[in-house]
Chains A and B, each alone.
Chain A
Amino acid sequence: MATTQPIKKKKIKVPQVVNGVPTEVEIEVDDVAGPTWGANDKHRLLNTRIPRSDGPAKTTGTAIYTFDVRLPDMQYGRFVVSKHARANIKSIDTSAAEKIPGVTAVVPFAKSVRYEGEPIVAIAAKTREAANDAVRAVVVEYEPQPFVVVAEDSMKPGAPQIFPPSNRRQVQGNADEVAAAFKDCDAVIDVEYRTKIMHHACLETHGVVVDYRGGDTATVYASTQGTFTVPGDASKAMGLKQSDVTCIVQHMGGGFGSKFGMGIAGLWGCKLSKQLGVPVKMMLTRRDEFLTGGNGPGSIQKMKAGATKDGTLVACHSIIHGLAGVGRANIAGQPYQYKATTFFREQTPVNTNEDASVAMRAPGFPQASFAIESLMDELAEKIGMDPVQFRIKNVTNESHKRQLLRGAEAIGWANRPAKAGSTPGHLKRGFGCGIGAWGGGGGPKCIVNLVIGRDGTVTAESGSQDLGTGTRTYVRAIVAEELGLGMNDVLEKIGSSKFGDANASGGSTTAASLAPAVKDAAFNARVALAKLVAPLLGAQPDAVTFENGKVLGNGKSLDWKQACMTVPAAGLSVQGQWQPGLSGNGAHGASFAEVEVDVETGHIRVVKMCHVQDGGLILNRLATESQINGGMIQSLGMALFEERVMDRRLGVMLNPNFGEYKLPGCLEMPELIPIIDDGDTREAVIGIAEPANIPGVGAVANAVYNACGVRVRDLPITPDKILNGLYPAKA
């Protein structure tokens, strides 16, 4: 009789993401040997360049996004949104809207509004055009209230208060000690950096198609970063059981942190579908997306830092404001990735009558990175030290030293002009760099069900959504590699709440949470199938191997399909869960930029960017390089173009569309050099989506200064700021 040994437990720390912002919790897990990945350079499929399994569907337009869903009798939902930055709503007259042919529901729900664009009335109609007409036919009588939409105005004494007064000031460090330390510095920089409120600019706007035609069950197609964040709220909105609501997320057009939960569009999609008994599509218009789809916080960072001539960062004093709209904002603490002998930091959010800032790709980190990387360059120049060497002397993580040297070589750092603006002629070249770090670890949540059919089909199921990062492809690759199969021999099914549980995609935790569960499932499937096949081969189960579509043992082999004849009629069904040894935590990167500034026009051309990124075991090098490229492009946009512009008198956003909210286009693309740092030999999966987006903005800003000698401390760095710097107003 077998004796049961108590399973040993161990405590580990894993990331926990709240509203896209990662924190850490300690959990207890079984201390048992499970599957391991093996050496990073010994994989057959993983860590190679694998084309996306959903690439053909996406490029040919057959991939169905929520926006593409069309169902019989489907109606179109829209919101009437506030025209005022702050107001009480005295009355809402819906009678004219209700009379428009095709309009089926006009439901007022708001009593007051805190920003322009806040939804007030939900509308449904049989055509999009009728819904649009109805929006304009609703007459809202506002009682405007004092508002403030610009951070400087909000910080003035007597400014309108958006929230009841409370002390939200966070302080760390000793200000007196820092003040004293400046006396020992050979160089001190005392300046203010600003970054603008930005938009996620998802190609697919927020929204849902809700299919509830009465009865007990409903389906919600959602553009969301979390399949499982939807059924709970949707079931409440429709008065159904949570288990009777299915959320479908087959493909989604970007979230970048803005799409947790189903949002207000989801809520009203559910309510209207229930009220009307037909499917309702409730997707935000592009303008509403800008006004009420969330945004990434801006920042005002007053920084004072000092260094000694030998390149030691001695003291760093920072007073930081996250510009949060009616939401919250946390900017990463300074001096971010550098060690200062002593530091003081103080952070207070600034609220305005604008839509809430929410998580946006590495929330608060690119903002902090821009400020500290600019500051590091300003200090390096003042003490006459090379910026790379100055950084190497002050980084806290060894990986950054390796990455800085690697990136410097790739960008051609040796060509960097020692003196800013010293290239001859009007086209001036400059170079800059920056570093960043992020968690990217995984945690226990995901359940993967894997079925091997008697016909040899292999299906791996997880409810996880593919945010666009390539989830489908690595799910396939992990299973195929474990079972000795090719990419086309495995089918992944994802994006349904009827499949195994999965975490929401925030904090770059998806791959590190899901991949281990897939590996575990594939490992379990291999062990189970080996047991069934072993007798046919006359081999011990643990001596059975899987290679090239064959199952081998005892000098014999079976084709995959022959081997699968051993499984039960219903298939061989196994489950996998996250295993602690399979994911790591801590991603580091360094970005470099080379730019050319035309000092006669202020035009900035980013010539080349490179980003060096570690990430333990790289599941798919092609997808990882693509992620790194995306990070660099988003950094370029933040550095040179993107900015939410408000009119302080009218309280409205002036550029709520892609014509005027400028994103970089094809002609703005530099040569992009994504470099995977294989010096990181951790045999563990780590998310890199966010870290790839952090240091590029500082690299571009520093390169611009190095090129033309104009230090722009207020993003975005646009031609007018360069020209105003080069040609100051005559006194």
Chain B
Amino acid sequence: MQAFEWANAKTAADAVRLLGPGAAADYDETFRPIGGGQDLHTTLKAYIHRPARVVNLKTIPDAGKITVDGNSLILGATATLTEIETHPEVIRQAPGLAESIHSVATPQIRNFGTIGGNLCQRPRCWYFRLEEVKCLKRGGDTCYAKEGENKYLAAFGTDAPCVITKPSDPAQVLVALNAVVNVLGPKGERQINAGEFFRMPTTDDPRRENVLAADEIITSIRVPLGQLAAKSTYLKFKERESLDFAMASVAAAVDADGALTVRSARVVLGGVAPVPWALPAVDAFLAGETLDEATIARAAEMAIEGAKPLSQTRYKLPLVRTLVQRSLTKLARSILET
């Protein structure tokens, strides 16, 4: 990795100040905040990120606190994945979130990795990860994956100039549960809906995966608790169980009565698009329906409508169909049991 200055932030505002002068013409040279470093170390070592300064967020007191505040779960940005997935209230009130985090990488990585870092991790696209290949996302003018080796990449949203998949697992659940990302910048705080936090690659700016400015940091994430969160689940399909990113995943949450009549439902796909792939048509279809076998089968079919797989990602469609079917079936059973 390239040598850099290490700065310990004393407060969130201090972190913002330390990141302030870091905006660089090349996005990969901007100052970077570091939480657990589980992704940043890999990009630093590969010279993908070449910041002159790295700002340590783990020195901010209480920045990793997990609290339940009324009807919300508040996750401090530097809470480790292990702390969240083992938190009794998370397991009880937002099981899908705990499941999504448990599916991440390995115990060792979850012990270090933070929720803020997990949401901001960079894509796994092979072309992006090789320093020598200057792809569109790295400031070049070509997405090599589109016509190249793209087996692990997108099957939805492939009209975008870059066809990465978002590697985070909890991201799908946070979008499904209408979580809010609390962000601090030089102009103060702002709240961003999780669904709007992630951004599709555009021709103007294919390089960023979220709406954070170079001098903004995530301070916490607020997850609304209630029926939807209580009946949430996350299914992730990995090629290699021991350690892998999703070939496809689904976050599902259903608020339904005892007769399985759906008040509201959310289905969000992971591992198949540059962002957590919400399915508003499926959500709208499910509302008011009875969550029985036929409804679930229809929802699973609807989930893959509009997919535009790449040359090597057609297999993701039957996979998504299965995951949606299984996740909704699991939730229906769970609702009937309570």
Binding site for B on A (CB under 8 A): 83, 129, 132-133, 136, 600-603, 641, 645, 647, 649-650, 652, 654-655, 659-660, 662, 664-668, 718-721, 723-724, 726-727, 729
Given A647-B144, A719-B247: A600 touches B318 (CB 8 Å cut-off): yes
Contact yes or no, B319 A719, CB < 8 A: yes
Contact yes or no, B130 A665, CB < 8 A: no
Contact yes or no, B239 A666, CB < 8 A: no
Given A664-B240, A665-B240, A667-B241: A724 touches B314 (CB 8 Å cut-off): yes
Nearest chain B CB to A640 CB, angstrom units: 9
Partner of B144, one of A649, A660, A727: A649
Given A720-B151, A729-B314: A665 touches B126 (CB 8 Å cut-off): no
Contact yes or no, A720 B126, CB < 8 A: no
Contact yes or no, B144 A650, CB < 8 A: yes
Contact yes or no, B315 A719, CB < 8 A: yes
A664 CA to B132 CA, complexed, in Å: 28
A526 CA to B154 CA, complexed, in Å: 71
Instruction: List B contacts of A647 (CB < 8 A).
Output: 127, 133, 144, 148-149
Q: List 10 A-B contacts (CB under 8 A).
A: A133-B3, A600-B318, A649-B144, A652-B133, A667-B240, A719-B239, A719-B319, A720-B151, A723-B318, A726-B318
Q: Is B242 an interface residue (CB 8 A)?
A: yes
User: Interface 1/0s, chain B 212-251, versus A by CB < 8 A?
Assistant: 0000000000000000000000000101111110010000
Q: Is B197 an interface residue (CB 8 A)?
A: no
A60 CA to B294 CA, complexed, in Å: 57
Nearest 5 pairs of A and B residues by beta carbon: A665-B242, A723-B315, A720-B315, A654-B126, A667-B241
Q: Is B112 an interface residue (CB 8 A)?
A: no
Q: Is B47 an interface residue (CB 8 A)?
A: yes
A601 CA to B148 CA, complexed, in Å: 24
Nearest chain B CB to A103 CB, angstrom units: 14
Contact yes or no, B240 A602, CB < 8 A: no
Contact yes or no, A83 B132, CB < 8 A: yes
User: Interface 1/0s, chain B 111-145, versus A by CB < 8 A?
Assistant: 00000000000001011011011000000000010
For window 308-338 of chain B, which residues contact chain A by CB distance below 8 Å?
312, 314-315, 317-319, 322-323, 325-326
A641 CA to B240 CA, complexed, in Å: 8
Contact yes or no, B127 A654, CB < 8 A: yes
Given A647-B148, A720-B315: A667 touches B322 (CB 8 Å cut-off): no
Nearest chain B CB to A91 CB, angstrom units: 19
Contact yes or no, A603 B237, CB < 8 A: yes
Nearest chain A CB to B154 CB, angstrom units: 14
The residue of chain B having its C-beta at the shortest distance from the C-beta of A648 within the complex is B148
Contact yes or no, A600 B322, CB < 8 A: yes
A120 CA to B325 CA, complexed, in Å: 54
Binding site for A on B (CB under 8 A): 1-3, 42, 47, 124, 126-127, 129-130, 132-133, 144, 148-149, 151, 237, 239-244, 247, 312, 314-315, 317-319, 322-323, 325-326
Contact yes or no, A129 B315, CB < 8 A: no
Given A641-B240, A645-B149: A660 touches B126 (CB 8 Å cut-off): yes
Contact yes or no, B239 A662, CB < 8 A: yes
Instruction: List B contacts of A649 (CB < 8 A).
Output: 144, 148
- With A649-B148, A724-B314, A727-B315 given, can you name 14 additional A-B contacts, CB distance below 8 Å? A133-B2, A601-B319, A601-B323, A641-B240, A654-B127, A659-B243, A660-B124, A662-B240, A665-B241, A668-B241, A719-B237, A720-B247, A724-B315, A729-B314
A649 CA to B244 CA, complexed, in Å: 27
Instruction: List A contacts of B1 (CB < 8 A).
Output: 132
Contact yes or no, A652 B318, CB < 8 A: no
The residue of chain A having its C-beta at the shortest distance from the C-beta of B130 within the complex is A652
Partner of A129, one of B3, B47, B132, B239: B3
Partner of A602, one of B132, B133, B319: B319
A129 CA to B312 CA, complexed, in Å: 39
Instruction: List A contacts of B239 (CB < 8 A).
Output: 641, 662, 718-719
A659 CA to B46 CA, complexed, in Å: 13
Contact yes or no, B130 A654, CB < 8 A: yes
Instruction: List B contacts of A655 (CB < 8 A).
Output: 126
Nearest chain A CB to B4 CB, angstrom units: 12
Instruction: List A contacts of B244 (CB < 8 A).
Output: 662
Contact yes or no, A654 B240, CB < 8 A: no
Contact yes or no, B318 A727, CB < 8 A: yes
A662 CA to B247 CA, complexed, in Å: 14
Which of the listed residues B240, B315, B323, B326 has the most CB atoms from chain A within 10 Å of its own CB? Answer: B315
Instruction: List B contacts of A602 (CB < 8 A).
Output: 315, 319
A465 CA to B241 CA, complexed, in Å: 35
A172 CA to B323 CA, complexed, in Å: 51
The residue of chain B having its C-beta at the shortest distance from the C-beta of A653 within the complex is B130
Instruction: List A contacts of B247 (CB < 8 A).
Output: 719-720
Contact yes or no, A654 B319, CB < 8 A: no
Instruction: List A contacts of B237 (CB < 8 A).
Output: 601, 603, 719
Nearest chain A CB to B284 CB, angstrom units: 26
Instruction: List A contacts of B240 (CB < 8 A).
Output: 641, 662, 664-665, 667-668
Instruction: List A contacts of B322 (CB < 8 A).
Output: 600-601
Which of the listed residues A641, A662, A720 has the most CB atoms from chain B within 10 Å of its own CB? Answer: A720
A724 CA to B315 CA, complexed, in Å: 6
A655 CA to B126 CA, complexed, in Å: 7
Nearest chain B CB to A329 CB, angstrom units: 23
Instruction: List B contacts of A654 (CB < 8 A).
Output: 126-127, 130, 149
Nearest chain B CB to A147 CB, angstrom units: 15
Instruction: List B contacts of A665 (CB < 8 A).
Output: 240-243
A662 CA to B242 CA, complexed, in Å: 10
Nearest chain B CB to A20 CB, angstrom units: 29
A129 CA to B149 CA, complexed, in Å: 32
The residue of chain B having its C-beta at the shortest distance from the C-beta of A287 within the complex is B46
Instruction: List A contacts of B148 (CB < 8 A).
Output: 647, 649
A721 CA to B314 CA, complexed, in Å: 10
A660 CA to B151 CA, complexed, in Å: 12
A652 CA to B126 CA, complexed, in Å: 11
The residue of chain A having its C-beta at the shortest distance from the C-beta of B133 within the complex is A650
Contact yes or no, B242 A652, CB < 8 A: no
Nearest chain B CB to A617 CB, angstrom units: 37
A178 CA to B18 CA, complexed, in Å: 77
Contact yes or no, A723 B319, CB < 8 A: yes
Nearest chain A CB to B44 CB, angstrom units: 12
Instruction: List B contacts of A133 (CB < 8 A).
Output: 2-3
A650 CA to B239 CA, complexed, in Å: 26
Nearest chain A CB to B322 CB, angstrom units: 4
The residue of chain A having its C-beta at the shortest distance from the C-beta of B309 within the complex is A729
Nearest chain B CB to A27 CB, angstrom units: 47
A136 CA to B1 CA, complexed, in Å: 10
Instruction: List B contacts of A723 (CB < 8 A).
Output: 315, 318-319
A729 CA to B313 CA, complexed, in Å: 12
Given A136-B47, A723-B318: A645 touches B126 (CB 8 Å cut-off): yes
A667 CA to B241 CA, complexed, in Å: 6
Nearest chain A CB to B204 CB, angstrom units: 26
A719 CA to B127 CA, complexed, in Å: 22
Nearest chain B CB to A376 CB, angstrom units: 28
A668 CA to B315 CA, complexed, in Å: 22
A667 CA to B243 CA, complexed, in Å: 9
Instruction: List A contacts of B151 (CB < 8 A).
Output: 720
Instruction: List A contacts of B318 (CB < 8 A).
Output: 600, 723, 726-727
A275 CA to B298 CA, complexed, in Å: 73
Nearest chain B CB to A127 CB, angstrom units: 11
The residue of chain B having its C-beta at the shortest distance from the C-beta of A600 within the complex is B322
